[in-house]
Each structure stands twice: as structure tokens, then as C-alpha cells.
A and B are shown apart, each in its own frame.
Chain A
Amino acid sequence: MAADKPQLDIEALTKSFHRAKGQEVRAVDNVSLRMEMGDFVVLLGPSGCGKTTLLRCVAGLESPDSGSIALGGAEVYSSARRLEVPPERRNLGMVFQSYALWPHMTVAANIGYPLRMAGQCRADIDARVKRMLEMMRIEDLANQYPGQISGGQQQRVALARALARGDDMILFDEPLSNVDAKVREHLRLELLAMQRELGFAALYVTHDQEEAMSLATQVAVVADGAISQIGSPQEVYSNPKSLKVAKFIGSANQLDGIVTRGGSDLAVDTPLGRIRLPEAVLPYAEGGRVSLVSRPERWRIAKSRPETKEAWQGRVRAAAFLGAYNHYLVDLGKTELQVWQQGAQLMPIGSEIWCRVEPDSFVVFPAETPA
């Protein structure tokens, strides 16, 4: 495999579905995406956004309408060349949402199946299966059937099967959505360690942003069949390119307002009053309607009035203790604010408090025109 070729190269891929009554839905709309070896790209989006369809196009389980897909430098789909390599000849691994373990085969037979299909000899298969079982620390399950093992164990078997052939590209279709929270967290860390160690390229579909953040080297936010933004988790989280991305990734407080000139600085008139912002953050003309988005963990609340000018008085409407953070819902007049703050003491509901935030915590977008 040529080192200079990307591991996955999707160009201008489009796929539509025809609903009843002749309606056409663009599930994948002119998507381009490149991945190198070792990349872990997570397609993140709400259900129905087209992320699974994109993944299934890469697998060959769906036929796109147009565009091209290349794996390891070799084209597997090209509408221009009328080329479509069937899934069984694409040499990639896939973990399914339902695991799709064959109920009539033992764990070892499930894992060994891709090797058997590749025509490997028995001894090689046995050795490889043994290694995979060890790697997943499920050696004692080799002769069990999928129906006899727990959900977390099934997940490991599904992963072992996907990795068995040592393919360079592994696809994941919401693989952790069927296990409980505790197991999910554990498996996530294991998967991460495994991917960094083996170095395969992973394309992963999920609607869970926490999962996306913790796994990805690159998060691709998918909405309406297109990739809205792609970048490292930190980048996407702190510098969302659009209001849509900002609101989908993590929790966000939104303040709508109008840009005004307050003395020497630019400022935004919001329901909370005038908020002064540094010039760099606010490249919008005076009179423009904008939305200020801030993350709940950037806000601080206290019983006493802080020293800064940018502080507002409010009342705690709801408070929840979540271990590492306390989550508050604060009423500031007609505005509602989410605040996550560390601290041993949970402020009771109804407390009169002061909120503050650094001006550089705001990300500014042009306001969404009311539909």
C-alpha cells in the first residue's frame, strides 16, 4: 500500500432515498472526506442525519448515486468509472450496532470466519483467533455461543471479529449503544487503547457527543447529509463554525443580541444588558443581529457580588449534584442559564446568586433568521 495515499478518500459522494409519494431524501449530500492510517474519525450527528448511510456506503452495503470512494489508494466505488466493488472484496472490518454475531457459531468460529473466507489454513486461523481472544481478554469464552455471554462480552467478540484479518480500515456503526453506561465507558477506553496500539484507521458513527469527544482524533459533525465541520474534538468544541454545530456539540447557553458601539469597544446588547467583547471575537458590523454562545462550564456563580463589571444577579431554579460537577439552572430575569461548577457545596434551589463569565468565553455567530 502506497504510504502517500490516504487510507480512505471519499469524493463528492451523494446518495438519495425515495420515499413514498415520490419524495426524495438526500441522505448523503456531496460529502468528501479523507482519512490517514491511525486516524479515528467519528461521524457525529442526530439520528436520520445520514451518518449511518455514509458508513454503509463505505462498507459497500449501500450503493451511492454518484461520487467516488477509495480505500488504501484503490478505488472501490466510482460513478464515473461505473465501478462498484462488492463488500466481500473491500477488505475492511465492521462492528455492527446489533453486533451481528452468528448465533450458531462459537465465539472462536465467529472470530475466525473472516480468516476462513480469506482462505487461510487452519493452523494460522487458530493461532490468530487465539491471539485475538487474548488481546480482548476473553480466552475462556472461545467455545461459548453468543447467546451464552453478556452484552459487553459480545461487544468484545464483535470487535475481535472485525479486527481478526488485520484490516487497515475498521467501521463502527454505533457499537456501544446497546450496553449499559458503566460497560460502555470501559469498552470505550479499551477500544481507544486498541486503536492507538494497532494503528488502523477507524470510522465511527455515533449520536453520543461524549463518546465522539473521547474517541476521535477528528470529529465530523454531520447534519442533513453533509459534514458541517470536521476537526479535533477540542477545535470543534471550542471553535464551532456554526450555531448548529455549537448547539449540537455539548451544552450551550445562547444569548441573542444586536451589535452596538459602546465607547471605544464593540459590544452586544442582550437581554442581560450590554456585553462588551474584544474586537477579535466580534467581526460583525454595528446593528447586526448575532447570537452569543457560551459553554456552561465557563460560567461561575457565587453568593457574593464579584469584582468584575460583567456580573448578573439571578436565582437558582434547579440544582443537581453529579459528582465531579454541580449542574445549575439559573434564572436571570427572562433568560435561562446552564452553569456547571465544581465545588463540594451544592447551592440550594431558590438561592440568590451572582453569575459571571469572562468575555472571551463567548463565540459569536450571525443570528439564525427566524423561520
Chain B
Amino acid sequence: MTGVTKSVSRKPDGFVLIAAAISVFVAALIIYPLGWVIVDIFFTDWRFDTTPFEALAQEHGLGQLILNTVLAIGAASAIALVIGCTFAWLSERTDLGMPFLGKMLPVIPLLIPPIAGAIGWVLLAAPRAGFLNSWLSSLASLMGFGQTGPLLNIFSWPGLIFVYVIYLVPHVYLSVAAGLRNLDPSLEEAARISGARPLAILRDVTLPAVMPAVVSGGVLALITGFALFSVPLIVGGQGGIEVLSVRIVHAMIASYPPKTGVALLLGLAIIVLIGSSWMLQRAVLRGGRFATIGGRGMRSATVKLGGWRWPARIVMTSYLLISSVLPLVALAIVSVQPFWTANISFEHLTFKHYAALFSSNSLAWTGLRNSILLGVVGASLGMLIAAVISFYIARNRGSRLAGIIDGATKLPAAVSHLVIGIAFISTFAGAPFHLHGTLAILLMAYLVLYIPQASLTAGTALAQVGKELVEASLIAGASTGSTLMRVTLPLMMSGLAAGWTMLFVLTAGDITASAMLAGNRNPVSGFVILDLWTNGSFPPLAAFAMILTALLSTVVMVTLAWTWRRR
């Protein structure tokens, strides 16, 4: 017996050390502010402090607030689930024959930031000056119905839920469509052979088999809904429907000194809601048995829609029209009018709002420049960090440190963006960091907010690079660092590019963190939009929303075209 096993000591690889350092730093950047804000708010001199709870008790209408939140987002998520599943099934499993629309449907909400869409719908369906109301009432009087009151009112419960639905459908659609695409088509073929008709197959086989994708799409819709701040601010605010996210941001920015304790406690309420959604997901999926990915890449026998084909096409096209085209058209019209009116006059067509926005040193122009800068730097840095972290985790799977880092990068997805915003203000704005009003605090916050999405895409991209390819490079004598640079990263490129695009769009169009962390000294596009909205100046607001939408769409289109060509 030799008895003693000596562990082979390897020469520490320089790259592994750097990767570990980056990973630990990012984990700290996530964990430290969250821990600090909780200690800071709830503990004074290391004793539990009840002041925030007393302040919360002073807040009015808390029950109504939570009820509103749950009702609006619950209803919107349920509707989004039905629409998203139907569209996913139509484009993945039937002979609808509109591949372009199927591809575009999930991408479009990336192109139009929620705040622009919400404003667009305000312009369309506000009770007094909404275009649709004006057009519909002229139509009604033409048809001899006489003068009618406004038919549509966006500032209402149905209006709020409607705009929520538009921004929640894509999450459901993406999840369910991916589930359907990965489902082994022979499961459905076996049901056909067994004599099941298309609807029976959908009910007995397809839906149950992709249930995890359906449920996770629904939960994603719920979580996104709870965090969405722009839609309820713009649509709910006027309608007197207040939800949690709006109250939290107001507690931080609309009162001085900021009611951090109240905001944090309400933020914890959102975390509880998110947690309950996850519990719901686990409960639904518990003990269930679901299809694994077939992946034989076979074309599945499609369901023939027959007479339903054209109605289905019309419904999908009009959805696209309603969710994207109409609000954009409204924004475009208002942006070239002297003021917002339902009577469009072509003589008064003006580009002065655009010119004003671009005049040097205006808040809007600075904000846009900052957003582009932060978007480019944040997305590049974020994807690089995410790639290194996912590489580090994959190489050190099973180690405790790797586990902690993996958990930390997922944490921001579980904790609401609002809470992270609060934590960043209380940790970094004052002493000893004094980062208030700087671009640095925004960059750090964006990195933390979007690291879950970044590491998810990087992880997926890495998983697609075969393990053997990496091992072959190591066997060939390349160090870990050069393997990453020469083999892994080039192969991950198209996945990373998609991730970069997503990160850029999220960062440049961010409004939640920007509302709390940006100011006149460090304006970004989200802050500018809120500022214009508060001033009530609609044409400049519309012009700015148009510019932002054009910018984001261009970036998405360019990278999409680039990745498609590389394939």
C-alpha cells in the first residue's frame, strides 16, 4: 500500500487566476450592495430597527396597491399566455406559411422600448385627443350615429392590461416556440397514427409535452410584469391605477429625503410575488414528466389549417399592427406636429422638435449620447465578463466558489430591478464611494441588472461549443487563456453577438434603474423620456421616442443581419 496520495500540483494558470478574480469581483458587486442596504435600513448600531415598518404603516392605500398590482399583472399574464401560446403553435406547427412574421413577432418588442409603445398608445387612445377616438367618432358621425363620447380610454383598467399584454406576449411566445421547436415531432406523429385529430393532438400531446415551456413563459411574463415600470407609470398614472413598481420609484425620487426604507419593504413585496410565481411553477411542474429534446432535426408533419388559414393570418397581422405599427405611426405623426392634436394638419408639418433635441448640450442630446456610450461599453463589458465567468464555471464545475459565483450571477433575476436600484443608491451614491450623478454608478448598475441574461446567453453559446473541441486544444498544448481566445470565443461568436445586442438594447433603453440613478448631471435616454413626460410636452417626447426606437432597431437589425450572414 502506498497510503499517501499526493495531489498533483499544477502550475497556476495566469488566465484562471484572472478569470477567478473577475468572477469574484462581479459576485461581490452583486452581493455587497444588497447585503449593505438591508443592514443599513433595518439595523442601527447592530440592533434591529423598526423605523422603516412604522414609515410603511404611514403609507396610504397599501392593500389597494398590492391588489392593483396582482390584478393587473395577473390578468395581463393570463391573456398574454393564451395569445403567446396560440401564436407560437400557429407559426411552429401549422401551414400558416408566414415565416417572416413568425420570426419578427418576438423581436419587435426589442425594437420598440415599452415606454415608447406606451406613449404611442396614449397618443392613440387618450379619451380627448386620441387619434383612434377622433377617427372613430368621425366615422360614427359619418355613418349617422351622431356625436358619441370617446369610445376608447387607455387610462383605464382594460387600457392598462392591454398595454401590459403587448409587452408580455413576446416572453411567452419565445419560450413556447422554443419548446415546440425542440419537441420530438414523432410524439405528435404517433398521436396522428393513433387516430387523434389535430385538436386532440394539441390537447393530449403537444400542450402537455411542452408544459414546462408554457409555465416558464407564464412565470416570465409575471416577473417581467411586476418589474415593468414605464407602462404603469404612463398608462396607470393618469387612470388613477397605481402599482407597486411606480410607488417604489416615487418613494425613491419624488420625495426628499428618499423613503428608502419604504421603497425597500415594497421591493421585498415584489420579491415575495416573484418567489410565489416560482413556487407556482414548481407546484405545476412537480412530478410531471415532460418531453426531452428530440433534436433529430426532422421536419414535422404540419397541421393543415384549411379554411382557418386566412383568419389566422389576419389575426396575426393585425396583432402586429396593433402592438407595433399603430403606436409607431402615432408617435411619428405627433413628432412632426407643432402640438399634439387629433386634427392632423399637413401645412404645419415641422421638424423643429427633432432639431431642438439635437441642438448642442440639450439634456436630450446628452442623454442619448450617454445611453449609446453606456450601451456599447456595458454590453461589451457585460458579454466579456459573462463569457469569462461561464468559461470559469464550466472549467471548475463542482467547486464551491464556482457554485457561489453561478448563484450570484443569477441573483439579480430573482431580486427585482427596483430593489437593485435602491441598493445601488444607498451603497454607492454617498460616502465612501460618492458616485452620485456619475456614469460609473449607472454602468455598474446596468452590469449587475443584466448579468443574468448575459451569462445565460454566454452559457448557452458555450454549451454549443463541443467539449471535445476545447479538450483537443488543451491537448494540443494551448493554455487555458489561448484556448478561450482562439477556439472557444470564435465559436461562441454568433451567440455572444446576439447577447450583445440584447444587452445593448436593454441598457440603452433602460428606464427602471435610470429613473433612480440618473439625474441632470448624468442623464440617459430613460431619464430624458421621464423628464419630458413629466413636463407634458408631447411632440418632443414623441420625437425622442422615435429617435430611440430608430437607434435600437438599427442596432438589432445590423447585428441580426451580421449573425445570419455568418451562418
Q: Assess the B192–A88 pair: CB atoms within 8 A.
A: yes
> Would you give the 0/1 interface string for B183-207, flagging 1 where the beta carbon is closer than 8 Å to chain A?
0101101111111110010001100
Interface residues in A155-199 (C-beta closer than 8 Å to B): 161-162, 165, 171
Q: Assess the A117–B194 pair: CB atoms within 8 A.
A: yes
CB-CB < 8 A to A92: which residues of B? 193
CB-CB < 8 A to A88: which residues of B? 192-197
Q: Assess the A59–B194 pair: CB atoms within 8 A.
A: no
B74 part of interface (Cβ distance < 8 Å): no
Which listed residue (B190, B195, B200, B209) contacts A96, Cβ 8 A?
Answer: B190
A86 part of interface (Cβ distance < 8 Å): yes
Nearest chain A CB to B290 CB, angstrom units: 6
CB-CB < 8 A to A98: which residues of B? 184, 186, 294, 296
Which listed residue (A61, A90, A91, A103) contacts B189, Cβ 8 A?
Answer: A61
Q: Assess the B189–A87 pair: CB atoms within 8 A.
A: yes
A147 to B290, CA, bound (A): 9
Q: Assess the A146–B194 pair: CB atoms within 8 A.
A: no
CB-CB < 8 A to A59: which residues of B? 189, 193
A96 to B296, CA, bound (A): 12
Nearest chain B CB to A117 CB, angstrom units: 4
CB-CB < 8 A to A249: which residues of B? none
CB-CB < 8 A to A165: which residues of B? 194-195
Which listed residue (A86, A97, A104, A162) contacts B209, Cβ 8 A?
Answer: A104
Q: Which single residue of chain A is at the shortest CB-CB distance from B200?
A: A117
Q: Assess the B189–A100 pair: CB atoms within 8 A.
A: yes
CB-CB < 8 A to B184: which residues of A? 98, 100
A273 to B263, CA, bound (A): 98
B106 part of interface (Cβ distance < 8 Å): no
Q: Assess the A103–B289 pair: CB atoms within 8 A.
A: yes
B211 part of interface (Cβ distance < 8 Å): yes
Q: Assess the B192–A96 pair: CB atoms within 8 A.
A: no
Which listed residue (A62, A100, A104) contacts B190, Cβ 8 A?
Answer: A100
A145 part of interface (Cβ distance < 8 Å): yes
B292 part of interface (Cβ distance < 8 Å): yes
B326 part of interface (Cβ distance < 8 Å): no
B258 part of interface (Cβ distance < 8 Å): no
A60 to B302, CA, bound (A): 12
Which listed residue (B186, B211, B289) contacts A145, Cβ 8 A?
Answer: B289
Which listed residue (B187, B211, B289) contacts A100, Cβ 8 A?
Answer: B187
A114 part of interface (Cβ distance < 8 Å): yes
Q: Which single residue of chain A is at the shortest CB-CB distance from B187?
A: A100
A86 to B296, CA, bound (A): 23
Q: Assess the B192–A86 pair: CB atoms within 8 A.
A: yes
A103 to B207, CA, bound (A): 12
Most A Cβ at <10 Å: residue of B193, B195, B197, B209: B193
Which listed residue (B192, B208, B296) contacts A104, Cβ 8 A?
Answer: B208
CB-CB < 8 A to B194: which residues of A? 88, 113-114, 117, 161, 165
Nearest chain A CB to B192 CB, angstrom units: 4
CB-CB < 8 A to B204: which residues of A? 102, 113
> Would you give the 0/1 interface string for B291-305, flagging 1 where the beta carbon is closer than 8 Å to chain A?
110101000010000
Q: Assess the B289–A113 pair: CB atoms within 8 A.
A: no
Q: Assess the B196–A117 pair: CB atoms within 8 A.
A: yes
Interface residues in B238-296 (C-beta closer than 8 Å to A): 288-292, 294, 296
Nearest chain B CB to A176 CB, angstrom units: 16
CB-CB < 8 A to B200: which residues of A? 117
Nearest chain B CB to A144 CB, angstrom units: 10
A118 to B290, CA, bound (A): 25
Evaluate whether A94 and B190 lie within 8 angstroms (CB atoms) in the complex, with A88-B195, A103-B291, A104-B289 already known.
Answer: yes
CB-CB < 8 A to B296: which residues of A? 98
Evaluate whether A96 and B189 lie within 8 angstroms (CB atoms) in the complex, with A61-B301, A104-B211, A117-B194 already known.
Answer: yes
Q: Assess the B187–A102 pair: CB atoms within 8 A.
A: yes
CB-CB < 8 A to A105: which residues of B? 208
Q: Assess the A118–B289 pair: CB atoms within 8 A.
A: no
A79 to B282, CA, bound (A): 51
Q: Assess the B195–A102 pair: CB atoms within 8 A.
A: no
Nearest chain A CB to B175 CB, angstrom units: 18
A89 part of interface (Cβ distance < 8 Å): yes
Interface residues in A39-90 (C-beta closer than 8 Å to B): 59-62, 86-90
> Would you give the 0/1 interface string for A3-21, flagging 1 where the beta carbon is closer than 8 Å to chain B?
0000000000000000000
Q: Assess the A114–B195 pair: CB atoms within 8 A.
A: yes
A225 part of interface (Cβ distance < 8 Å): no
Q: Assess the B195–A100 pair: CB atoms within 8 A.
A: no
A101 to B205, CA, bound (A): 10
A278 to B65, CA, bound (A): 101
A171 to B197, CA, bound (A): 20
A314 part of interface (Cβ distance < 8 Å): no
CB-CB < 8 A to A161: which residues of B? 190, 194
A161 to B209, CA, bound (A): 18
A105 to B186, CA, bound (A): 15
Q: Assess the B193–A94 pair: CB atoms within 8 A.
A: yes
A93 part of interface (Cβ distance < 8 Å): yes
CB-CB < 8 A to A113: which residues of B? 191, 194, 196, 204
Nearest chain B CB to A200 CB, angstrom units: 14
CB-CB < 8 A to A91: which residues of B? 195
A105 to B191, CA, bound (A): 12
A96 to B291, CA, bound (A): 15
Nearest chain A CB to B313 CB, angstrom units: 22
CB-CB < 8 A to A62: which residues of B? 301
A292 to B234, CA, bound (A): 86
CB-CB < 8 A to B209: which residues of A? 102-104
Could you list some 12 contacts between A and B, CB below 8 A?
A59-B189, A60-B192, A86-B192, A88-B192, A88-B194, A102-B291, A104-B208, A104-B291, A113-B191, A117-B196, A161-B194, A165-B195
A residues at B contact (CB < 8 Å) = 59-62, 86-94, 96-98, 100-105, 113-114, 117-118, 145-147, 161-162, 165, 171
B residues at A contact (CB < 8 Å) = 184, 186-187, 189-197, 200, 204-205, 208-209, 211, 288-292, 294, 296, 301
Q: A59-B193, A113-B194 are in contact. List 18 more A-B contacts (CB 8 A).
A: A88-B195, A88-B197, A91-B195, A93-B193, A94-B189, A94-B190, A94-B193, A97-B186, A100-B187, A100-B190, A102-B205, A114-B193, A114-B195, A117-B194, A117-B196, A146-B289, A165-B194, A171-B193
Sort A-B residue pairs by CB-CB distance and give the 6 closest, nearest first.
A114-B194, A100-B186, A117-B195, A100-B190, A87-B192, A104-B208
